[in-house]
Amino acid sequence: MRLDWSEVLGASGDWSLVANLPYNIATPLVLDLLAYVPAIERMLVMVQREVGERLAAQPGEKAYGIPSVKVAYRASAEVVGRVPPTVFIPPPRVESVLVRLRRLPEPPVDADPAALFRLVEAGFGQRRKMLRRSLAGLVDPAAFERAGVRPEARAEELSLHDWARLASADVEG
């Protein structure tokens, strides 16, 4: 987590990262690499199943959350393999998956990442609440209509594009 990636990778891009990541740093490390180390264009990481599912989840899936939206802003991600505990000695009590991430040339939405992620974090911070409640004080109520987002929706229902429209509509108001 403290590695100076620019020193290690140099100025050239087109790097691939292949790693078996420990549970406690997997999500923050992947998100930091996507946000701050553009030289790494592809990743294949082995992580605990729940972490991998969160990284690659789509709207409406149980694992969908803040990491899913942040990854979708910068990369495509998919679970490409399952690794059973029986391949390790001693076998852990968890299942692992392989997740392939490919950096996108540009974010698929035109939104300020700071504003976008502030809304995403607030929305998922109170996951069970409707967005009009979890985003109260952050989003003008009229912004929901401008964005075409139902204020009764819950955070896990919104795609990256929905979140971006909401962040942009709030700025427009």
pLDDT tens figures, 42-81:
999 999 999 999 999 999 999 999 999 999 999 999 999 9
Q: Mean pLDDT of all residues in the chain?
A: 93
Half-sphere exposure of 124 (CA within 13 A, CB side): 22
- Joined together, the tokens standing for residue 104 give 């996108």
Q: Is 14 exposed, middle or buried (0-12, 13-18, 19+ CB in 10 A)?
A: exposed
pTM exceeds 0.75 for this model = yes
Pick the CATH number of 5-103 from 3.40.50.150, 3.40.50.2300, 3.40.50.10900, 2.60.40.10: 3.40.50.150
Pick the CATH number of 113-172 from 3.40.50.1000, 1.20.1560.10, 1.10.8.100, 2.60.40.680: 1.10.8.100
Domain extent listing, the chain: 5-103, 113-172
